[in-house]
């Protein structure tokens, strides 16, 4: 790996040298690069779809909706807003700073950035973060996942055709290569993945005091709560859609459902109907249904399912040859069972029941666990739903909907605690990849000796109390 370490160090050094030419400070330059990136994504659409099919079994429609089209929208939003976002803020310094009354806040790039991306949305979670890095005026090294090999290869080709290595490049390889990257001195690191690896990234970054943004799945998974007053059929349809999407391999996916025991049987019935309607009697044989990323993920999913074989009410079967494992509903499950205390990242869906009148106990239990990246509630009581969303701690979520919050223009996508730190998408991504640098414009005339020695003058005491109150 010595040669690989030398190569990566050389890339970082060349990017730092390029950044120091100040070319990336020009906002028009950044917009031109975003236009080039958009053109590259559009021209490579079919290759990207094919790669997503090879790696994850994605149907072309799902590939475009989840990765490619969402990326184009992100680029469009950034191009449209960048000049406004990058404008220095002008502040009145305050009378206590007189006569230096003008202060500006410049939005400065960090410099050379490292983007470590996952396998589950290999295009969007690599190039979507790149959009924010470019917008901020940085250079970027993308360490793409070794699990989604086909997508990594297409991105390497596409980025090499579009940008010089000294500006943007994509690196493949496994955890050993990621560690080599983390040993370099970057100016900003953005990691998407598991909390365990996120802790490792922070530890490595701390050696150089490098600021880090983390987008993590959450250690104990994302909850979905279905109240007894919810539209049960609507809730079941949306939950079934989301759990089947990317075969459950989504950081904001529903990890477990808590359903009011008063409507639990109805919910299970509607949920199984929804899965059959969307994927047929045998989802494993449906070519529109994505597969798990590799043998290890399949075997882990199958092992979990086998432990709860006697409580599987839908699914539970898979095909190791295609890596497809059916959406699997496990019911009933106690809230303290092991399967609802960790992120599953699979098509398994444990269903917990609770008494609707005792909803506060459920919320307390959820809040005692590690913070999720998402929370979803289905209810007709909007007052309760809003109160709940404003007092629970999680990354983001929906009321009577799933997943769409991360697609809203101008809204941040973020985590908290074990589900991450920092935020991006649109202007929030620009802010994540820039440092607000405050500069006061001093005056050489009319300066009062108020702040200078000697202090003990009666007029100074009067003035300072007048100005600073």
Catalytic residues, by residue number, are 215, 251
Those residues with Cβ within 8 angstroms of residue 285's Cβ, 6 or more apart along the chain or in another chain: 324
Question: 64 — phi, psi (to 5°)?
Answer: -70, -45
Q: Are 181 and 146 in contact (CB under 8 A)?
A: no
Token pair in block for residue 23 = 């070319």
Those residues with Cβ within 8 angstroms of residue 158's Cβ, 6 or more apart along the chain or in another chain: 40, 41, 44, 47
Residue 37 and residue 52: Cα distance in Å, rounded?
19
* Strand arrangement, sheet containing 348-354: 312-314, 328-333, 348-354, 254-260, 222-226, 372-378, 394-399
SS (H, E, C) the chain: CHHHHHHHHHHHHHHHHHHCCCHHHCHHHHHHHHHHHHHHHHHCHHHHHHHHHHHHCCCHHHHHHHHHHHHHHHHHHHHHHHHHHHCCEEEECCHHHCCCCEEEEEEEECCEEEEECCCCCCCHHHHHHHHHHHHCCCEEEEECCCCCHHHHHHHHHHHHHHCCCCCEEEECCCHHHHHHHHHCCCCEEEEEECHHHHHHHHHHHHCCCCCEEEEECCCCCEEEEECCCCCHHHHHHHHHHHHHHHHHCCCCCEEEEEEECCCHHHHHHHHHHHHHHHHCCCHHHCCCCCCCCCHHHHHHHHHHHHHCHHHEEECCCEECCCCEECCEEEEEECCCCHHHCCCCCCCEEEEEEECHHHHHHHHHHHHHCCCEEEEEEECCCHHHHHHHHHHCCEEEEEECCCCHHHHCCCCCEECCHHHEECEECCHHHHHHCEEEEEEEECCCCCCCHHHCCCCCCHHHHHHHHHHCC
How many angstroms separate the first and last alpha carbons of the chain?
61
Closest to 344 (Cα-Cα) out of 308, 311, 300: 300
């Amino acid at each position: 790996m010595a040669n690989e370490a030398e190569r990566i160090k050389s890339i970082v050094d060349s990017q730092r040298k390029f950044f120091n030419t100040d070319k990336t400070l020009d906002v028009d330059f950044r917009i031109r690069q975003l236009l080039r990136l958009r053109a590259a994504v559009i021209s490579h659409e079919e290759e990207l779809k094919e790669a997503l099919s090879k790696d994850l079994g994605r149907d072309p429609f799902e590939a475009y909706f989840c990765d490619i089209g969402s990326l184009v929208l992100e680029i469009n939003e950034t191009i449209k807003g960048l000049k406004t976002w990058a404008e220095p803020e002008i502040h009145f310094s305050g009378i206590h700073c007189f006569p230096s009354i003008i202060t500006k806040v410049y939005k400065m790039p960090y410099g050379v950035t490292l983007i470590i991306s996952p396998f589950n949305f290999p295009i969007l979670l690599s190039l979507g973060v790149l959009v924010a890095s470019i917008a901020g005026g940085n250079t970027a090294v993308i360490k793409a996942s070794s699990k989604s090999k086909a997508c990594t290869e297409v991105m390497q080709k596409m980025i090499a055709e579009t940008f010089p290595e000294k500006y943007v490049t994509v690196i493949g390889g496994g955890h050993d290569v990621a560690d080599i990257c983390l040993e370099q001195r970057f100016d900003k690191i953005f990691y998407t993945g598991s909390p365990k690896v996120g802790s490792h990234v922070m530890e490595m970054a701390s050696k150089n005091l490098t600021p880090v943004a983390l987008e993590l799945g959450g250690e104990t998974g994302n909850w979905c709560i279905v109240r007894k007053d919810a539209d049960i059929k609507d809730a079941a349809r949306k939950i079934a859609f989301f759990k089947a999407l990317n075969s459950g391999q989504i950081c904001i996916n529903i990890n477990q459902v808590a359903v009011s025991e008063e409507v639990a049987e109805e919910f299970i019935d509607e949920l199984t109907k929804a899965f059959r309607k969307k994927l047929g009697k045998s989802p494993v044989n449906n070519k529109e249904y994505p597969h798990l990323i590799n043998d290890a993920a399949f075997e882990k999913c199958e092992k979990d399912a086998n432990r709860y074989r006697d409580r599987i009410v839908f699914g539970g079967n898979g095909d190791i040859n295609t890596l497809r494992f059916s959406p699997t509903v496990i019911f009933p499950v106690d809230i303290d069972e092991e399967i609802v205390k960790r992120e599953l990242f699979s098509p398994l869906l444990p269903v917990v029941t609770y008494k609707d009148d005792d909803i506060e106990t459920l919320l307390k239990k959820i809040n005692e666990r590690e913070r999720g990246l998402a929370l979803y509630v289905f209810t007709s009581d909007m007052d309760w739903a809003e109160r709940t969303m404003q007092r629970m701690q999680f990354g983001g979520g929906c009321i009577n909907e799933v997943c769409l919050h991360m697609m809203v223009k101008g809204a941040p996508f973020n985590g908290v605690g074990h589900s991450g730190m920092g935020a991006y998408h649109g202007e929030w991504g620009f802010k994540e990849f820039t440092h607000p640098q405050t500069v006061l414009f001093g005056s050489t005339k009319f300066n009062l000796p108020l702040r200078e020695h000697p202090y003990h003058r009666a007029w100074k005491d009067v003035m300072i109390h007048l100005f600073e109150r």
